[in-house]
Amino acid sequence: MNMTDEDLAQSAAAGDRQAFCNLLERCYDRIFGLAFRLTGNRTEAEDLTQDICANLPKKMQTYQAKARFSTWIYRVIVNAAHDRRRRAARQGKAALDWGDWELARQAENHEAAALTDWLITAMQSLPPEIRDTLALILDDVTHQEAGQILGVSQGTISWRVSQAKSQLRALKAQEQTL
C-alpha cells in the first residue's frame, strides 16, 4: 500500500523507525534541492542537508497533521538555513551564498556558463528574504503556503514576488542596453 507523506510522518512521529526512513528517503532530494536554492552553493547545501537530517528525528516528534507534510518540511529547511546564516554572522564568517566560484566552475559549456552567470547576477541582486521567497515559489509552492512557511502574510509574499519580478525585468533591460 502506498502511504502518503502525511501518513508516514504521523507514524514516524509516533516512533515508527521504518516509516521515518521511508519518508526521509522519499523527500531527501527535495530537501537538498531547496537547500541548494536557498544557499546557491553545493557544499553549503550538503552541510545544511546534513544539519536537517541530524535534527529531523527530534523535530519529527513535534509534527502534527494540521498542515501538509511538504509545508512542514519546507519550514524546517528554511528555519535551518536561517539558523546557519545567523550562526555564520555571529562567528564573523562570511556566509557562503549565491555567487561563489563553485557554481560558476560547474558550467561545462559556453551556453551553460552564460545561464549560470545570469542566475548568479539575478540572485545577487535580490535581498535574502526575497531570494528565500523565490526559492519556494519556484518550487511550485503557493503564496499561501509560502506565507505559512516563512511566517509572513500572503500579501507580503505577493509583494516580494512582485519586487523580484521588477528587479529581474530591470536586470534584463540593463543587459539589453549593454
Partner 1 sequence: MSDDLNDLKQALQATTPTPEAARKAEHLMLAEKNFERLQETTKPHRHTFRQSDDGHFKGVKKMMSMLSNRMALGTATALACAGLIAVFPEISAQFGDQKHTNPANDPHATVQSSPEYIYQDRHNNSIRHAGVRIERGRGRQRSYYASLTPCREHEKSLVAGNSGYSSSGAQIKPQR
Question: Which residues form the interface with partner 1 (CB under 8 A)?
Answer: 12, 15, 17, 20-21, 24-25, 28-29, 32-33, 36-37, 42, 46, 49-50, 53-58, 60-61, 103, 106, 112, 115-116, 118-119, 122, 134, 137-138, 161, 164-165, 168-169, 172
Q: Under the phi-then-psi rule, with left for phi > 0, alpha for psi from -120 to 50, and beta for the rest, what region is 97? A: beta
As a whole number of angstroms, the distance between CA 156 and CA 161 comes to 9
Cβ-based nearer residue to partner 1, 19 or 149? 19
Q: Please report how close the Cβ of residue 87 comes to partner 1 at its closest, in angstroms.
A: 19
Q: Please report how close the Cβ of residue 44 comes to partner 1 at its closest, in angstroms.
A: 12
Q: Please report how close the Cβ of residue 134 comes to partner 1 at its closest, in angstroms.
A: 7
CA-to-CA separations, 52 to 67, 80, 122, 175, in angstroms, rounded? 19, 7, 27, 38
Dihedral over alpha carbons 66, 69, 73, 75 (to 10 degrees): -40
Which residue from 166, 171, 85 is spatially nearest to 132, judged by alpha carbons? 85
CB 59 within 8 A of CB 9: no
Q: Please report how close the Cβ of residue 166 comes to partner 1 at its closest, in angstroms.
A: 9
Cβ-based nearer residue to partner 1, 89 or 102? 102
Cβ-based nearer residue to partner 1, 70 or 116? 116
Cβ-based nearer residue to partner 1, 26 or 86? 26
